[in-house]
Amino acid sequence: MGPRQEGAGIPLRVLAERSGAELVGAGDVLIQRVAALDEASAGSIVFLSNPKYRSQLAVTRASAAIVSPRDADATVLPKLVTPNPYATYARVAAIFHPPRAALPGIHPAAIVADTSRIAPSATVGPYVVVGERTTIGERAEIRAGCIVGDDCSIADDAILHPRVVVYRHTAIGPRTIVHSGAVIGADGFGMAELEGRWLKVPQVGGVVIGADVEIGANTTIDRGALGNTVIGDDVKLDNQIQIGHNCRIGAHTAIAGCTGIAGSTRIGRNCKIGGAAMIAGHLEIADGTVISASTGVFNSIRAAGIYTAVFPALPHREWQHVASAIRRLRSLAERVRALERGSHEEGK
């Protein structure tokens, strides 16, 4: 089943009931779609969560809006009032765009090991490979071209989009979504230096991924060297993230794209990590920590807070002057210390 086809629409009062929001205004207005503030037309419902777009709400051509109590007076449209407009929008959008219902069964072009166990309600698409002793749960979807290795488990209602690769000894929890190109369970970067050459360290652990996780396209999660790499429940990983071996990511943490996390790092619960952050290995990051985009983290963070280590963009010539001044800071600091010592000796 694809996106909802536009028809007569859904009464706003029904959307209020199903989303848990307060209805203000005419509940019988019919809503056919969700839309952006500047692209909406009659039959659309829009939302406002960022105050900088408040002026657009006053001129939108939508039929209804989703707003917070502080923005309820910014429009005369019928509205859903809620403390969290973005979350309510997500619920409303899901009503108009329900998940596609897959047909259960194993495609004739799939290759499935005799020792695997696949639930009757699961879907295994064309050119999928399922390894020995692997289990696939009820209503799980393994879409075209995926490879699931030996001794894996894919729990109920999980979805693997096309061309996901899951190495051996990986467990994926219920309702988890893995997007195309993701690789889960590849060897970690374990190398021992010996006499000027690199000796590969066998990576004998696995990967355990919790419930309701989402893993973005082309993200990679390495298997443990010893023990498991663990991704907690409700973790959200954006595209093109690298998670090294034996990392542990706490429940409800969200990590934006192009972040790199070196091995054996422990990230707490409810953390938020901006895009392109680089986190060194063998660190601990406290629950509730926020790390700004492009920040380098080279030491453990023991206390929750917002951490930023990025120099803001400047015009190039101005940046050259600033960089030149920074390079001189050490010599300037030494001169200041020398002056302080001289002043101290004179005062004796």
Catalytic residues: 245
Residue 85 makes CB contacts below 8 A (sequence gap 6+) with 47, 48, 49, 66, 67, 68, 71
Q: How many angstroms separate the Cα of 33 from the Cα of each of 49, 64, 80, 318? A: 18, 10, 15, 48
Residue bearing tokens 């392109």: 276
Q: Classify the phi-psi angles of 95: left when phi > 0, otherwise alpha if psi is within -120 to 50, otherwise beta.
A: alpha
Please answer whether residues 91 and 79 qualify as being in contact, where contact means their C-beta atoms are separated by less than 8 angstroms: no
Strands ordered across the beta sheet of 260-261? 111-112, 129-130, 147-148, 165-166, 183-186, 220-222, 242-243, 260-261, 278-279, 296-297
Please answer whether residues 108 and 128 qualify as being in contact, where contact means their C-beta atoms are separated by less than 8 angstroms: no
- d(C-alpha 110, C-alpha 213), whole Å: 26
